[in-house]
Amino acid sequence: MPGGGPKFFPCVLCNKRTKPRERRKITTQETHFLQKTFLITVKDTNDTLCNRCRHKYYAAERQKIQVVAKNDESNDEYIPTPKRPKSSALSSPPSISLSIPSTPKSHAQCFLCKRPGPKLVVVPSNARFDVFMNCEIIVPAGSRCCPNHLENGEFKADMLHSIKTANSSLLSRTSITELIKSLRTAAQQNENRRIDFETSSNLTNNDYLNLTGICKDAFDEICASALKDLRNTPARTTRTSLGIFLFKLKSGLSNKILSTIFNISKSSLRRAIASVRKSLVASFVPQNLGLQHISREEVIEKHTKPLAQTLFGDIGNSQVILVLDGTYIYIQKSNNFHFQRRSYSVHKGRPLVKAMVVVTTTGHFVTAVGPYLADNKNNDANILTHMLKSNLEDIKHWVQENDIFVVDRGFRDAISLLEDMGIKSEMPCFMKRGDKQLSTEDANASRLVTKVRWVVESANARIKRWKYLDKVIPTNQVPYIGDYIRIVCAISNKFLPPLSPAHDDDVAVAAKMLHLSRQVNVLKERVEAESLHSRKSSMWRDASTIDDFPKMTEEQLREMTCGSYQLKLSRCYIQEHLDGNHDILVHREDPQLLKVKMQSRHVSSKAHVLWISYNEVEVTAWYCLCKTGARVVGVCAHVASVLWYLGYARHKQDSLNIGVRNWGVYVEDAASLPEPIDASDSEDSTIEE
């Protein structure tokens, strides 16, 4: 064509180029429709509409005719509608530019990873709205993405960080109206928001952890597999029932408060808790707790630490090492006086019931038995005897000869029964009558036991993290305490990480501890031979500065203590002595021998005296007068605090600030009284004036 290329005929509504067969003159009715609906004035006779925009006019006319027909129903007059193709809802062309980031719109490729089709899906409207709410990014309607980017109709969390956007968005009036309506609906839902477990998008993964104690995926797995027999009701669904149950265990709140939070009645809430408890006990607990849920071989291969096997096991023998201990669940005082007497613990001074927990050396719950009463007939030894003689969970066939039970001193009366069954027992040593301190041999042996036995204490603490089991439980819930404990243990086995996983250096640490357990405390022998514990001041002098004490790293300190518990207490012990209220003395003849007096953390009138011998390179020996201070396998907390401060903490830039605050300054002290004023002094001052 002379004077340029082919002429461009855009649609006056959507501004898209029209094909030759679509170019027809705009009728007068269509002109009025464009002017009234979209405020578009047709001026040029060559202006045209594409088929898609012309169908919007037909849809509007069809809707108008249907309204007229409905209003004129009494005349029985049939008015035919124009036979035109069906069309979508009316929408205006994108003509409004906003400074909101937007993603590119493409039907041929995924807007996230740019992967071409054909296996692409249209992004759902709720997913587009979630992106706008969470990331302030507009995803245009009709955008497509790969199916693996979506989960349950929503974008996966890791996909939101990879969205590429433009600096502005071109929106239509229709899309802005829909966005405002969606925001209004979300605002109304937020205003009356309750904790909602119905859809996974309502709560984040951290919300699930804080409210239920498990992550979102674990919650979904329990709903899908363990609650199949639980039916939905008009008041609550399966997800809501499970959320109520776990939230009750995790928070320990009363049913009155929970009914307000979840906006359901207390009776419905009680039925939800009971139904979920029964369902979990029937299907979920047997698969994840109990002697029958795990084999001996699996315990030996997957849930036994090499450290424990080296310390107590026999080389070449397949032995199961189990750690046992009882845990307390406090209950209200009962009106049944017989039960009140049997459930009262003289040791704790309050009513309670006891559950026996059996774990592996990694912290995996093997079984939880009980609960039992709390009187003197139900101590730990009697409970273990009852378990063995009653053959609970077929324990006699599961446990075999040469297996090892790691227990505390409360099981001493059951040791003979274990020996008769061929089961070995490892228990901390008792202090002999009249002694004030364990011998070096007994203290070393006890340290080997506590190195393994601490895991059951942490397992009991994991149970008490579910606050319902840490509070005082009403007596009407006593029949269900055992179910609650077993459910919590099963959840821990299934979804929580092991308390004490195996480490590469377990065998080396165990070999070192075994070697040290055969040593004698040479510094103890020297203290007793030279009477270094006497109060003769001529033997010692004050140590203003100690410059030759060897510097130590945290790793070296952990190797000396054979653990981290003593180091955690070091800050607290040293905090009380930073102001100079401690005694560090140096031997006059041996300047590398220290004598330190440490204040007891339990009794104000008691102090612990300890000695430390060192050279320019390392600490060579230690001895403390506390009950376990004679051991060579590791050190007691008093010795550890001195080593931590002299060898590590004082060399830091801010050595006086060790992170332990004195909260006593915020509390009144009735023993602190103002000094009385002498009356004669006040009279003399008045006369002089």
| pLDDT one-digit tens code per residue, 5-29 | 456 778 888 878 887 777 777 888 8
Q: What kind and span of H or E run contains 310?
A: helix 306-312
Task: Determine the pLDDT at residue 386.
Answer: 93
Looking at residue 184, its pLDDT comes to 75
CA distance from start to end of the chain: 120
Residue 356: which pLDDT band, with cuts at 50, 70 and 90?
very high
The pLDDT of residue 79 is 41
Q: What is the mean pLDDT of residues 125-133?
A: 79
Percent pLDDT > 70 in the chain is 87
- 689 pLDDT band (50/70/90 cuts)? very low
pLDDT of residue 679: 61
In single-letter form, the type of residue at position 93 comes to P
Which is higher by pLDDT, 276 or 180? Answer: 276
> Which band of pLDDT confidence, cut at 50, 70 and 90, is reported for residue 683?
low
> In Å, what is the CA distance from 22 to each residue of 42, 49, 197, 280?
17, 8, 52, 66
576 compared with 308, residue with greater pLDDT: 308
Sorted by sequence, the CB contacts under 8 Å of residue 93 that are 6+ apart come out as: 13, 14, 15, 38, 172
Q: What was the pLDDT predicted at 686?
A: 46
Amino acid letter for position 393: E
Domains and their CATH numbers in the chain = 9-93 (no CATH), 96-191 (no CATH), 205-288 (no CATH), 296-506 (3.30.420.10), 520-659 (no CATH)
> What is the SS3 assignment for 284-347?
HHHHHCCCCCCCHHHHHHHCCCHHHHHHHCCCCCCCCEEEEEEEEEEECCCCCHHHHHHCEECC
What is the Cα–Cα distance from 166 to 99, expressed in whole angstroms?
10
Which of 84-98, 377-391, 566-580 has the highest mean predicted lDDT (pLDDT)? 377-391
Report pLDDT for 246: 93
| Per-chain mean pLDDT for the chain | 82
Q: What is the pTM of this model?
A: 0.69
**Taking 70 as the threshold, does the pLDDT of residue 608 lie above it?**
yes
Read off the amino acid at residue 501. Answer: P
By residue count, the chain amounts to: 689
- Residue 74 clears pLDDT 70, i.e. is over it: no
Q: How confident is the model at residue 678 (pLDDT cuts 50, 70, 90)?
A: low
The segment with the largest mean pLDDT, out of 230-244, 292-306, 561-575, 579-593, is: 292-306
Strands 321-330 and 350-360: antiparallel
**Residues facing 327 on adjacent strands:** 355
119-128, 398-407, 505-514, 611-620: which range is least confident on average?
A: 119-128
CA angle 587, 591, 593 (to 5 degrees): 60
As a whole number, mean pLDDT of residues 423-445 equals 89
Is residue 425 scored above 80 in pLDDT?
yes
